[in-house]
Chain A
Amino acid sequence: MEATKDVTLTLHNSLLTDDSSLITHHLSLKSTEYRRNILKYIYKAKAGHTGGSLSCIDILNVLYNEVLNVSPETFTSPDRDRYIQSKGHCVEALFVVLADKGFFPESDLETLCKYQSHYIGHPTRKVNGVEQNTGALGHGLPMSAGVALAAKMDNRNYRVFTLMGDGELPEGSNWEAALTAAHYKLDNLCAIVDLNGLQITGPTKDVCNTEPLDKKFESFGWATRHVDGNDVVALKEAFDALPFEKDKPSVIIAHTVKGKGVSFMENELKWHHGVPSEEQYKIAMEELETVTSIK
């Protein structure tokens, strides 16, 4: 948390003399705004996956604000970039970003997890901007590989991104798709692993160790890169470098902190789907109140 505040203040006080620092400044403000909204709507709904949404939000921020060629106006275009969230339970992160990008009014999120709302605890296509219904783990990568293959077959230039949790990697379907994506040289496909190191039972390395993850993907024929997944600059640099190798699918292993941005939530297992009390909510929002949103 302190690190985030320091970065933000430093940027506020610096002379913003070039485009890249402006972009960085903008992204940092956005991350804070998104974190506040994640907490706001989880607090209101009294439900949600808090820790994982906070760990992956910087990834979504950079994707939707700097990388993806998609908007509410182009969402039905066959040439749009696709984002499929395999770790569907962190839907609150996706919802606040989609609302910010104008896919639906933010006020819709007042209905999160309410009776007859489309804004449920996992992404569905009933919500404008959502590409696929996800929630069961290990589904994003196979579907993304299919979409990426369709692009190759049709000679279209769009790209496909999927966000996976490190906890879902033992699902065998991921590795079936990893083989196929390499076999078909899908260099228009990028998987991002939100490696926050915790899952509902405990540390991922204790539940089912997936390390060395880079070597596993590399041996399957993927190009890999490690990045600080809570550093918007590092994330942007990684996305800008895609594909990491021609004719290979890319995986970004994003090292993140579960609960990132709220001191008492960081790396604490109970915040996997913990909902803050009124007092905790106030403290968390105070920690994140250093900036207000800019559009």
Chain B
Amino acid sequence: MEVIVENTVNRANQDVFSETLQALAATDRNIVVVTSDSRGSGKLVPFGKKYPAQIVEVGIAEQNLVGMAAGLASAGKKVFAVSPACFLTARALEQIKNDVAYSNNPVKLIGISAGVSYGALGSTHHSLHDFAVLRAINNITIVVPADNYETEQAVQQVAASDAPYYLRFGKKPMPLLDETEQTPFEIGKGRVVRQGSDVAIIANGETVYPALQAARKLSAEHGIEATVVSMHTIKPLDEALLAELAASCNAILTVEEHSVNGGLGEACASWLLKNRFAKPFDILGIPDEYTVTGSQVEILNHYGISENGIAGRAKALIESA
């Protein structure tokens, strides 16, 4: 799709989400944003000022946020329901399951400040469960854009679709994944952002960039060549790409800012096991424990979801073969 937001690098995906939505709203009065006192963290203050008739505030009431969003969508509105991922996908899970997915109301659920973006605010504000719970619900596509380009494309594509989606964004400024030519973004198709045959590193969201850095480090320091994939769509999973990676790479490592239970890694593991993948495989994510306290970067570093951590895990995986 056409690039409609100016390409300035290193902005938070949430910012790009908001700007893309403003651009869409300029020509489509049916675009409606629903917020639960979350327009500030959703970077939607400018949207609200520019299009006050197209933003609905429900107050801090996530169940009502999603229920009303479903009602609005059923009446023809193109609804983006925006709330921190931690609350949206837990507090309002039954509304997502019934009012959006089961009733097939085409709400775009936008989980902001996802993963451990809120850092030291603690586990109440972390969303390490959202992939797992939503993967088990029929009729919802789960998309986790990695950079500003993927974000803009994803927002445009879901706006043009008459189906329910969950989009997950972090608030850290993200560099473009520019190692290869800008491969096209298509929901449901993973993007290969680097080629190598020693190991495939499959990541999503804000973990793709450190995976790419890790791949460069492995190449420079150890001569290990890694394929890096932005598997932005967790469901439906790009099984054709997984088949290619299984055939072409000697090991597979998945990386995600999510619990190791039920997320990207287990989605890949399920397909690979069913398809007789017998090479080394590992899942890097947040372990099943009380999450260490600290900033987002400190938490991710603690669990090895970093350039050095991913490189070390990938190297160890290859050496285990």
Most buried by B among A133, A134, A183: A133
Tell which of A124, A125, A143 touches B67, judged by Cβ atoms closer than 8 Å: A143
Q: For the complex, give the distance between the alpha carbons of A125 and B101 in Å.
A: 12
Whether A180 lies near B71 (C-beta < 8 A) is: no
Supposing A132-B103, A153-B32 touch, asked if A147 and B72 sit within 8 A by C-beta, the answer is: yes
List chain B residues, Cβ under 8 A from A131.
74
B99 touches A78 (CB 8 A): no
The smallest C-beta distance from A176 to any residue of chain B, in angstroms, reads 4
Contact A153 B53 (CB under 8 A): yes
- Determine the chain A residues whose CB is within 8 A of the CB of B56 once the complex forms: 149, 184
Q: Are B103 and A146 in contact (CB under 8 A)?
A: no
Q: Which residue of chain A has its CB nearest to the CB of B101?
A: A133
Write out the residue numbers on chain B whose beta carbons fall within 8 Å of the beta carbon of A179.
Answer: 59, 61, 64
Is residue B271 contacting chain A, with contact meaning CB distance below 8 A? no
- Cβ contacts B66-109/A at 8 Å (1 or 0 each): 11111111111100000000000000001100110011110000
B63 at the interface (CB under 8 A from A): yes
Which residues of chain B are near A184, meaning CB under 8 Å? Answer: 56
Q: A residues within 8 A CB of B76?
A: 78, 150, 154
A125–B67 alpha-carbon span in the complex (Å): 16
B61→A146 contact, CB < 8 A: no
User: Nearest residue in B to A160 (C-beta to C-beta)?
Assistant: B71
Chain A residues contacting B59 (CB-CB under 8 Å) are 176, 179-180, 183
**B98 is contacted by which of A135, A151, A154, A177 (Cβ under 8 Å)?**
A135
Chain B residues with CB below 8 A from A141, complex form: 67
User: Does A136 interact with chain B (Cβ within 8 Å)?
Assistant: yes
Tell me, in angstroms, the Cα distance from A145 to B74 when the chains sit together.
12
Task: Report the minimum CB–CB distance from A23 to chain B (whole Å).
Answer: 30
Check A173 against B63 for contact (C-beta < 8 Å): yes
B64 touches A180 (CB 8 A): yes
A272 part of interface (Cβ distance < 8 Å):
no
Closest to B58 in A: A180
Chain A contacts for B99, CB-based, 8 A = 132, 139, 142-143
Check if A105 is an interface residue, CB within 8 A of chain B: no
CB pair B77–A139 under 8 Å, yes or no, is no
Give Cα A149–Cα B59 distance, bound, in whole angstroms.
15
CA distance A179 to B66 in the complex (A): 15
**Is residue A212 within 8 Å, beta carbon to beta carbon, of the partner chain?**
no
Taking residues whose C-beta sits less than 8 angstroms from the other chain, chain B's interface range is 20 to 34
Task: Determine the interface band of chain A, counting residues with CB < 8 A from chain B.
Answer: 20 to 34
Q: Do B103 and A153 touch across chains, with their CB atoms under 8 A apart?
A: no
Given contacts A153-B77, A176-B58, A176-B64, contact A133 B71 (CB under 8 A): no
Closest-CB distance, B100 to chain A (whole angstroms): 10
**Closest chain A residue to B69, Cβ basis:** A146
CB <8 Å contact, B98 and A176 = no
* Closest Cβ–Cβ distance, residue A130 to chain B (whole Å): 10
Q: Determine if A250 is an interface residue (Cβ-Cβ < 8 Å).
A: no
Whether the pair A132, B74 counts as a contact (CB closer than 8 A) is: yes
State the CA gap A120–B119 with chains docked (Å).
45
CB-based contact B63/A144 at 8 Å:
no
Query: Are B72 and A146 in contact, with the CB atoms below 8 A?
Result: yes
Q: Which of A149, A172, A173 contacts B72 (CB 8 A)?
A: A149
User: B64, A173: Cβ atoms under 8 Å?
Assistant: yes
Q: Is the interface of A mostly helix, strand, loop or mixed?
A: helix
State which of A125, A138, A146, A154 has its C-beta within 8 Å of the C-beta of B71.
Answer: A146
Known: A146-B74, A150-B75. A180 touches B103 (CB 8 A): no
CA distance A134 to B95 in the complex (A): 10
Query: How far, in Å, is B95 (CB) from chain A's closest CB?
Result: 7
CB distance A142 to B77 under 8 Å? no
Complex partner residue of A180 from B53, B68, B75, CB under 8 angstroms: B68
Tell me the smallest distance from the CB of A46 to a CB of chain B, in Å: 25
Chain A positions 99 through 135: 1 when the CB is less than 8 Å from some CB of chain B, otherwise 0: 0000000000000000000000000110000011111
Q: How far is the CA of A93 from the CA of B71 in the complex (A)?
A: 23
Partner of A125, one of B32, B53, B73, B104: B104
A172 with B74: CB separation less than 8 A: no
Q: B72 — which chain A residues lie within 8 A by C-beta?
A: 146-147, 149-150
| Chain A residues within an 8 Å CB radius of B73 | 146
Taking the closest CB of chain A, its distance from the CB of B19, in whole angstroms, is 23
A132 vs B67: C-alpha distance when bound (angstroms) = 11
Compute how far the CA of A184 lies from the CA of B53 in the bound complex, rounded to whole angstroms.
Answer: 12
Q: A151 near B75 (CB under 8 angstroms)?
A: yes
Q: Do A177 and B32 have beta carbons less than 8 Å apart? A: no
A143 touches B63 (CB 8 A): no
Determine the distance from Cα of A180 to Cα of B99 in the docked complex, in whole angstroms.
17
| Closest CB in chain A relative to B274 CB, distance in Å | 27
CB contacts (< 8 Å) of B71 on chain A: these are 142-150
A146 to B98, Cβ gap below 8 A? no
When C-beta atoms are compared, the residue in chain A nearest to B71 turns out to be A146
For residue A173, which residue of chain B has the nearest CB?
B63
Q: Is the CB of A146 within 8 A of B75?
A: yes
Shortest CB-to-CB span from B163 to chain A, Å, is 15
Residues of chain B lying within 8 A (CB to CB) of residue A177: 64, 67-68
Residues of chain A lying within 8 A (CB to CB) of residue B58: 176, 180
14 A-B pairs with CB atoms under 8 Å apart are: A78-B76, A125-B104, A132-B103, A133-B103, A139-B94, A142-B70, A142-B71, A143-B99, A147-B71, A149-B56, A149-B68, A153-B32, A176-B64, A179-B61
**Given pairs A142-B64, A142-B71, A149-B68, 6 additional interface contacts (CB within 8 A):** A133-B98, A141-B67, A144-B71, A146-B73, A147-B74, A154-B76
Please give me the 9 A-B residue pairs with the lowest Cβ-Cβ distance, nearest first. Answer: A146-B71, A142-B67, A150-B75, A146-B68, A176-B64, A176-B61, A143-B71, A173-B63, A147-B71
